[in-house]
Amino acid sequence: MDTLLNRVTIDSSVCNGKPTIRGKRITVQTVLEFLSSGDSIDEILHQYPTLEHDDISACIKFAAELMNHQYSVKAFA
């Protein structure tokens, strides 16, 4: 893991254990949802002034790293 991924923290006492940015109450999921809805990095940084550009990059890299895992889908009756 590199420096960017060190910006993503997981703490069971913050946001119910969801991955957050530097322990703040801003989840990686929130940032990714903004990006996926078409918001620019500058728009997100304006909305969340405590974030830095590298925080947004870390969210994207974190999501990409999750895709390196193998997943299986199980059907339930």
pLDDT digits (tens, 9 = 90+) for 32-42: 999 999 999 99
Amino acid at 51: L
Cβ neighbors of 5 (< 8 A, separation 6 or more) are 58, 61, 62, 65
DSSP reduced 3-state for 5: helix
Q: Where are the domains of the chain?
A: 5-66
The structure's pTM equals 0.84
**pLDDT for 53 beyond 70:** yes
Region 53-68 average pLDDT: 94
CATH code for residues 5-66: 1.10.10.10
**pLDDT for 71 beyond 90:** no
